[in-house]
Structure 1
Amino acid sequence: MLNTKELKDLFEKINKAISKNKDTQAFNAYLQQHPDVVAEYRDIDKFKKKVWVKVFDIYQAELHDLLEYYDKAQNDLKQLRDKAKSETTDWNRALDLFKKRFFVPFSIEPANQEDVILNLDLPSFKYIFEDNRGSKEVSKEDLLDVLSTGEKRAYYILNLIFQILVAQKMGEKNLLF
């Protein structure tokens, strides 16, 4: 029975696959020395679970330290984000100054203030159009499409106020100060 052509072809195919490269040759040598591992492959999911349990058991102290470090980092990040939310940005100062001087049917709010303060992202804004029917968040392009010429000028003045405040903060000299 061991001399049948089908069985010889199957053994030849297995031998060819095992001898394919250094990794499979090393794996074959390991299996030759540890035949008990072959039995584990009957239920591969159970075998994987055993391996992971052993790995976690061996590295339990390191995993515990890693989880403590992760929790501390998450707490630190939360505190930084809370502090960033409470800080007034240059954009908020520009908005406050603008609101004191202009009455327009729109408002602009920072969308990612804490990420900007933490230097994680560039600023992005929410544009809110307001009329007698209520308020609605719109895209910048849609907002500029519905504004009158005077309202558009006010919008551009808002951007100018922001740029001036940033330049002042950086100590840059310009024509205005």
Structure 2
Amino acid sequence: MKLLILDRDGVINHDSDAYIKSVDEWLPIPGSISAIAALSKAGWTVAVATNQSGIARGYYPVAALEAMHERLRTLVAEQGGEVGLIVYCPHGPGDGCDCRKPRPGMLRTIGRHYGVALPGVWFVGDSHSDLQAARAVGAQPVLVKTGKGEKTANEGVAGDTLLFDDLAAVAQALINA
């Protein structure tokens, strides 16, 4: 199985320091939906692992998050693709869970779900916590310059990190490999 794991905010959709609280605020980054659809049509399983502490903070309910994810699935399906497992951490930074990135719990959940060993699997994110979570399970850290990615790159990343402009460039590299 060809598995690709994506962070959500800043990779698939625009991020906001005020949190993405509704479907109306959930706006795809140009090219991201078609990239996921193209990957899916090329035989890739695309899963998502996303921190969603806005739930713990009371900014939006789980139903709003599920509506955003349904919108993502619908948009990708309209282009002939499919989104695989979506896992999220609803906890706050101080809750001590194992799922909140940079901890690797969500990535392990995805690996178990698909029966895939995670070493070498690409995990695409836009923050240091995404890259740390990837390394914690031996996955390949991939940084996109969308969202917080440009800032993250400018702060410096380890030499094993692959760097791309956006998710569309990641998809092109994987499909043409």
Question: TM-score w.r.t. structure 2 length?
Answer: 0.24
Higher relative contact order (CA 8 A, sep 6+): 2
More strand by share: 2
More helix by share: 1
